[in-house]
Structure formats: structure tokens, C-alpha cells
A and B are shown apart, each in its own frame.
Chain A
Amino acid sequence: MKAAVIIFPGSNRERDVCAALKRASGKEPAIVWHREAELPAADLIVLPGGFAYGDYLRCGAMAAHSPIMREVKARAAKGVPVLGICNGFQVLTEAGMLPGALLANRTLSFVCRDVHLRVENSQTIFSCGYEAGQVIRVPVAHGEGNFTADDAALDRLEGEGHVAFRYCSPSGELTDDGNFNGSARSIAGIFNDTRTVLGMMPHPENVTDPLLGGTDGQGLFDGLVSALQ
């Protein structure tokens, strides 16, 4: 699996995701500067975490209009998988590639800590490394990850199996405590209609090494490698 990681000015978790991708696939991902008009051949496009353009406007709003995003959309339309993590998820919603929006956390403060996620749909290229209903422990690091959408859109996401992950308790229940940022229906990550685009707030790339506090994120990258090999 060859991945292309897009760098916007202000991206800051590209190293983290590149390390996880390399560990899983054995291949160094291509780094693509946001002003490039063309993408190299890639089996997977990744929009990493960070603060694109400082997120001084709405998170992801500026990056969604970067030149490279036209190409990302074109590739996605052809079925090339796109993974947006944290700021990357925000960019995907701003670019209209995923529904909904990410608001400020309900505490109104940045939160960096491990949270529990329940895998809602394991029948996708992104989640095939997990079992449906499996609970994984993955860190978050964001100030604006409170997912929102109107009821019709939420019903549709749920009805069509487009909810990827939900925040939950360590035993997998959907609790108010578990849903630390206040996301609608505890949603932590969603797919597009073809389940080839995934946006998620938590950082699986930061738990792919036992030395760094866990390996529960490994399943996502291993799953992608096996699906896209």
C-alpha cells in the first residue's frame, strides 16, 4: 500500500501518521505539499492532524480550498480511499466530502487524553482490522471535535452504517462521561456514502507502538494494508 500524506501549512501530525503507515505497510508515504496541483499515484490519501492555517478561521475552512483539494476530491470520486484524522476530518467536512461539522468541545477547552471507541461497522477497508462492537483505547487531542449534523443527516449516517466509531465507556456503553466532547450520538468518526472516505477525531496513529502506551490503533492501518494490498 502506497499512501500520500497531504501537508497544509500548520499540519503537525504528519510525522505520526507517516510512522504508523510505514510500520504497517513497510513503505514510506509520499509527502504532498498543499499547493501542488497533482497527486502522485497512491492507494490511500491521508489528511493529517494539526492546525491548518492556524485554524484561525473555522477549523479546516481555509485548507478545504487549497489547490490540492481539487485533486483529492477527483481521486476520491474515482474511489481512492481518503483518511482524514482530527484536523483532516475537519477539512473533509469543510470540503463537503463528509456531512456534518465539528464544533468546540462541550468543555470549551482542548482535551488530550485516551478515550474509548466502539467500532460500529467493521465491513469497510478502514475498519476490517477490528470486530464490530470491539472497544479500542485511542487518544484524542483537539479543541473542536464535537460532531454535529441535523437529525436527518444523523439518521441517515446511522441507518446506512456510515458511523465508523463512537465514544464509549471502557466496557462499550454509550455514556455521557464517555462522550467527553459532546458529539451528536457519540459519533467519533464517519464514512462517506461509498465508505471509501473516513473522517475521525481520535488519533489511531498515536497508538501503534507498545512503547507509546498502546497498540489499539494498529488495526486500522493493518486493515488498510490488507484491504489495499
Chain B
Amino acid sequence: MTENKSNVTPALAAEMGLSVDEFARCEGILGRTPNLTELGVFSAMWSEHCSYKSSKIWLKTLPTEGPRVICGPGENAGVVDIGDGDAVVFKIESHNHPSFIEPYQGAATGVGGILRDVFTMGARPIAILDSLRFGSPDHPKTRHLVGGVVAGIGGYGNCVGVPTVGGECQFHLSYNGNILVNAMCVGIARADRIFYSAASGAGNSVIYVGAKTGRDGIHGATMASAEFAEDAGEKRPTVQVGDPFTEKLLIEACLELMAGDAIVAIQDMGAAGLTSSSVEMAGKGGLGIELDLDQVPTREAGMSPYEIMLSESQERMLMVLRPGSEAEARRIFEKWELDFAVIGHVTETGRLILKMHGEIAADIPIGPLVTEAPLYQRPVQPRDKAAEIDPSALPARDPLDCLKRLIACPDLASKRWIWEQYDHLVMGNTVKRPGGDAAVVRLNDSGKALALCTDCTPRYCRADPERGGMQAVAESWRNLCAVGATPLALTDNMNFGNPEKPEIMAEFAGAVAGMRAACLALDYPVVSGNVSLYNETSGSAIWPAPVIGGVGLIADAAKAVDLALKHDGNTLILLGETAGHLGASLYLREIEGREDGAPPPIDLAAERRHGDFVRAEINASRVAACHDISDGGLLVAVAEMAMAGDRGVTLDSLPNDIAILFGEDQARYLIETASPDAVLAAAKDAGIYAQRIGAICGAALTLPGGGAISVRELKAANEAWLPAYMAGA
């Protein structure tokens, strides 16, 4: 216990990430100087990661309610009603920093953490998606990071037996020193069987289940301090190690216990481990909690209270049980060969009291620890808006040559190499596999299905944060509509640089404003999310990435469509207007080597109108294939449909104009149909611009001027890049 009494100073607090003011506030709350364990608790709870102190004032402006929303942000995951007594439970979370340091374990534990957030709510996880951003392919670390992250995600998800059905993967040099690894998990529960974290019932037992506590990941939420290691003895690195087998057992054991009435409250031990889980459970219940740390199952002897409280060892849960249900709970956890320990009880004191070796190791009033957490309105200084691009000033180019280069570029190249390493079929419900606009996963014993996707276009967000935030939400919504789903709600993963810099805070504020507008216009609320700030290396920030994880509902799984062209003779229809907007486009970057220009404007009313129309046409079974038009524009979208279906297209009514073919105007879809007259008439009635642009036929993509490229050649270019890159070629 000598460690606990060691001298706590403002300097030590600063090493743990607490400012002088914040440290003074701790002393004010306690009426004395905190001891080491208490300081650790404050610094973890008040870390950016746990307190959202820089982001909260902006995040609370986002719409979080809707007729179907059962539980919005603030719990482990969001919960949305999907009818028939079922609910979908989902959240996205980042593991950016650990994945850069140790890609395999960093990514694996990211998956583990987000799975726990979902099954903690009483849901069985049914799908994982991963949104990945790596540095430039030329950067010496990128190949190693891609390989490690993909193996880590696969290694965890495959073993746990939850299919990884979708996601995205992009490359840009702004991520050279800070990759983004965002994992989303989706689960299914009964709407009246959702479990929450608020403790109740003074005297009720607090139970620890799962894996043992070790010295891994100590203080992962705030720091890794060398000086501190000298004081506190040996410390392991702050990256945790995942054990998917234990996670699988934990899922089964928790869901088995949740089938009964034993659990009053449950919380997983994620960031800041036992600290945040115990404080959140007691805090939300307005109660106190007393823990006997001698009872915590530990992996090694001699762990201090500080280490036990700040460890981020994986695959652990904290529960409050109803009196008399301990024996049943113990039986279930012993069946699954998991640790089960009564480590304390709920109290009426409102205090967090930690005991070890007969001494009080910490005594903190929980109310102020939670409510008096710092909250900052940081200064905001937007950058100058990027100028619009005049397409007529760009050089003339051969469209097919540009197309071939674009579909082989790192951002558009096939990501098959990645998703074939993920088991995307386990659980036997994957209706639409990875590679489309959205994955579709059937719900057991019903005709229903969920559509799932992750989206963000950081180059838009960098050029104009507000448009970028709006576009991320709109594209997510569009991708769900494109498979025939009704978008329900989203989860957001806000990846930004250092919020203490006004231009970064302006990116954040702008992105939130854009997201808010889109969420409101599209009735697409935010029900959960995560914030990852300080994604900077040597003063240089990542391109901002408010990643949107979208969930939509399909009433009849058999009606879901994908992007693969189906039948020769069918017609290809372009829905939505094309102005030829090339600012911040992939064409500009990949072909002209320029990253300037304003991103495309977004007409949210048109998004809504067009998406609702597409969904109705899909439901009316008039759509054979559908694809949203996004990165790379119209011609890339046509090529993607051709490659997916292994069929050619003859485009006969488009100008051979670079801006029209590659512009990234929003709110557009391509529809393959056998009933073009009906679709065009319906579009006209709905006041939507729709144009027949070609016919499905042959084995080549043919332009109006007669130029053609075989689908086989397109596929070879599209499939070649990533495997060759990973092989070191």
C-alpha cells in the first residue's frame, strides 16, 4: 500500500492528463489531496475518452430521439424498436491509438470491446462492420498495419463466431501516423428485455465475471508514463491483449443468465476498466458502491489498488444481482468456466469506497466525480472555405483510361483481400455479403432483415466540415435505401485531431452541424457513438472522419437488392441530377493529383425524395439491381455494377464529358430495371429527374462514342491492387 501513499502532486496529475485546474477541482471535491488510486480514478473518469469534455457541448445538439428509439446515447449501445417485439442494439467504437502501436491486438480488442457493449444490453451480436483508414500505401508502416489490423479483426470476430459483414477501407497520407480503426457491432434483443447499467438496491451484491485482471492496458484511457512506472514498479504496455475464446464464453454465459431475472444492472469493463464500470453503475443509480479489491480475480499476485482499478484487461463484466440469485448466476458462469466473484455491494452512501488488505484505498463521492467533471467550450476557428472547381479549366482526358485508373486506385480497388479473411457467413443469415452498398443480415424466424453500412468521406470533411458531416449521414442513408431498407438510426464515430486547436474544434463543430441537419431532414437519429480526439502526430492532424454506422430495416429479406447487374436487355436508369461537381473528388485527386476544391453541395430534400422513391421501387419489385453514386462518380458506379454482375453495359445517352462521368454530385442512384417505362413514369410523378442511360448487354462497358473496355479487364484492374500491395509487389 506504500504506492498508494506516495506523494501525489500536480505534476503527477499532469502526467495522468489532468490540468492544474482539474487537479484543484479533485482536491476541492475530496477536501484533501487524493491518494494515487483516487488520482487514477479522477484522471480516468475525467479523461477525454470517458468524459467527452471537449465534445459534449456539440454532441448534445444532435437529434437522438424518434418514434422507434428505445434508448439513445449514454448507455453501452443504442436500442431501436424493429417491430414484433424485437429491438436492434448497436454502436461503433474506435481503437485508433492501440491499433497503431500494436495492430493485431489493438484491432482485435476493438472488436472485443464493441461486442461487449452490445451483449451487455442483453442482445446477441449478429454482425460486425469495420471502418478502416490507413496512411499512404507508400508509407513504410502501412503494409504492416493493414496486415495486422485485418488479421486482428478476423482473429477475434471469426473465433467469437459473429460475422464481419461490411465496412470500408481507405488510404491517405494524413493517417500515416494515426490510423483509424472503428468497429461497429449490431445485436438483436427482445425490446422488453434490455439491460441497463444503473445500479439499484442498496445491499445488492456486485459481481465480477469473465477473465482475470492483469497488468495489461493500465491507464489505457489516459496515459503511459515512464516516470510513473519507476514509482509503481513494473508496468506492461498500455495495449490490451484479446482473448476471443473467453469473450465467446462470456457472451453465452451472460445471455444464459439474462434469460432469467437475476440481473439488476450490468456494465462491461471497457476503457478505464473497473473504475468506469463501477462509477457509472453507481452514478446512474444515484447510489454508492463499496468494493473489496482483495476479492477481484487477478492474473498475478501483488497488484496494487491503482493497478486493479485502472487495468484494461479484456473480457470482463460487472453486474449487480438481485438478492438470492447468486447461486444460479455462479452455476452458469462455472459451467462456462469463467471467473465469478462477489467483490462488493451497492450502498446508500453515494461514495465509491475501495478496500484492500483491510485498509481504505479510495473514498470518493460519486456525484461530484460524475457531475463536476470538466466540460469545455473550446475556441473554434474555421479554416477558409475551399473554392469551387471549374471543370472546364481541367485538361481533356480519355474517360475509359481514367476509369481504369480510378477503379484500381487504393480507395476504389476491391477490398476482397480484406473481407475474405473475415468469416462473413457464420450464423447463417448473411443475405448480402461484403462488397455492396450495405450488407443485409436476415433476422432468424422472421422475414425481416437489417441493412448495415459504415460511411465517411474525409476529403469532403477536411474541405468543408459542415458539408462533410452532412454528406456522411446522407451517404449512409442512401446506402441503406439502395438495398431496399428503411433507415432507422445511426451510430457515429467522431475521429478528429487535437480539440485544443481552434481549427480542429471548428472541424468538429462544423461536422456536427452538418450531421444534425442531415439527421433531422432524413429522420435518422443518432442513438450511440464514440469520440476519438488527439489523432495527431508531430503536430499534424488526421483528415477529420465522422464515421457514420447506419442501420436500416427490410420488411421482407427476399426483396433486398444488390448492385450486381442481373439480365441482358434490362435498362440502366440514372436517378437524380448531375451537375458535374469535381471539387474534392476522387477524380481530381487520382487523375489530376489535386486535393483542392469544395465538396459537392447536398440537397437534403432531394436525398429524402430520391431515397424514398428508390425504396418504393425496390418494394414494388421493379428493381433488379441498385447502386448509389458516390466516390468516383457515375462511370465508376456503372463499372462497379458491371463488375459485380459480370455483365456489360452499353451507355447510349450520356455526354462524353469528364465532369458528368466523374463528378460526385449527391442524391443519385443507378437502377437496373426490366420495366423502364414504369420506373420513369413513377419518377416523373414524384418530381424526380430520371434518365435512361443505357442497356445491360454483352461483356464490355461501352461509352456513347463507341469506346469500350471489357468487364474482365476492369475486374482484373480492380482486383489486382490490394493483393499485390500486400504481397509487397
Contact = CB atoms under 8 A, between A and B. Distances in A.
Given A19-B428, A211-B557, A51 B159 contact: yes
A214 B381 CA distance: 55
Interface in A180-229: 203, 205-206, 209, 211-213
Classify chain A: how many residues form its interface, as a range.
Answer: 20 to 34
30 contacts: A9-B245, A10-B159, A11-B161, A12-B160, A13-B161, A15-B427, A15-B444, A16-B428, A19-B428, A20-B428, A33-B335, A53-B245, A54-B245, A54-B246, A56-B245, A110-B422, A110-B423, A111-B420, A112-B420, A112-B422, A112-B424, A112-B425, A113-B420, A139-B425, A141-B423, A141-B425, A206-B428, A211-B557, A212-B428, A213-B433
B249 interface: yes
Nearest to A53: B245
Interface in A143-196: 143
A179 B481 CA distance: 39
Contacts of A81: none
Contacts of B158: 51, 110, 112, 141, 143
Contact of B431 (A15, A143, A212): A212
Interface of A: 9-13, 15-16, 19-20, 33, 49-51, 53-56, 109-113, 139, 141, 143, 203, 205-206, 209, 211-213
A12 B337 contact: no
A54 B159 contact: yes
A102 B618 CA distance: 45
A111 B419 CA distance: 9
Contacts of B558: 211
Given A53-B245, A112-B423, 14 more contacts: A9-B248, A10-B248, A10-B249, A12-B159, A16-B427, A54-B243, A54-B245, A54-B248, A55-B159, A56-B245, A110-B155, A112-B422, A141-B426, A212-B429
Contacts of B429: 212
B130 to A, nearest CB: 14
Nearest to A108: B151
Contacts, number: 87
State the 3 A-B residue pairs at the shortest beta-carbon distance, nearest first.
Answer: A12-B161, A54-B245, A16-B428
Contacts of B219: none
Contacts of A54: 159, 243-246, 248
Interface in B390-443: 419-431, 433, 442
Contacts of B423: 110, 112, 141
A50 B161 contact: yes
B336 interface: yes
Contacts of A16: 426-428
Contact of B421 (A13, A15, A110): A110
Contacts of B243: 54
A12 B248 contact: yes
B110 interface: no
B154 interface: yes
B442 to A, nearest CB: 7
A9 B428 contact: no
Nearest to A55: B159
A51 B156 CA distance: 11
Contacts of B428: 13, 15-16, 19-20, 205-206, 209, 212
Interface of B: 151, 154-155, 158-161, 243-246, 248-249, 335-337, 419-431, 433, 442, 444, 557-558
A206 B158 CA distance: 15
Contacts of A56: 245
B707 to A, nearest CB: 31
Contacts of A209: 428
Contacts of B424: 112
B147 to A, nearest CB: 9
Contacts of A55: 159
A148 B603 CA distance: 60
A12 B425 CA distance: 11
B247 to A, nearest CB: 10
Contacts of A19: 428
Contact of B430 (A11, A111, A113, A212): A212
B337 A51 contact: no
A201 B35 CA distance: 57
A109 B337 contact: no
Contacts of B161: 11-13, 50-51
B446 to A, nearest CB: 13
Contacts of B336: 9
B425 A203 contact: yes
Nearest to A141: B423
Contacts of B249: 9-10
Contacts of B427: 15-16
Nearest to B160: A12
Nearest to A139: B425
A109 B425 contact: no
B607 to A, nearest CB: 29
A54 B154 CA distance: 13
A33 B256 CA distance: 14
A223 B430 CA distance: 25
B159 A211 contact: no
B426 A13 contact: yes
A189 B541 CA distance: 52
Nearest to A111: B420
Nearest to A208: B428
A56 B419 CA distance: 23
B211 to A, nearest CB: 12
Contacts of B433: 213
B464 to A, nearest CB: 39
A53 to B, nearest CB: 7
A20 B428 CA distance: 9
Contact of A211 (B151, B160, B421, B431): B431
A213 B151 CA distance: 25
Given A109-B151, A110-B154, A211-B442, A9 B337 contact: yes
Contacts of B244: 51, 54
Contacts of A110: 154-155, 158, 421-423
Nearest to A18: B428
A16 B426 CA distance: 7
Nearest to A109: B421
Contacts of A211: 431, 442, 557-558
B426 A111 contact: no
Nearest to B244: A54
A17 to B, nearest CB: 8
Contacts of B246: 54
A206 B430 CA distance: 9
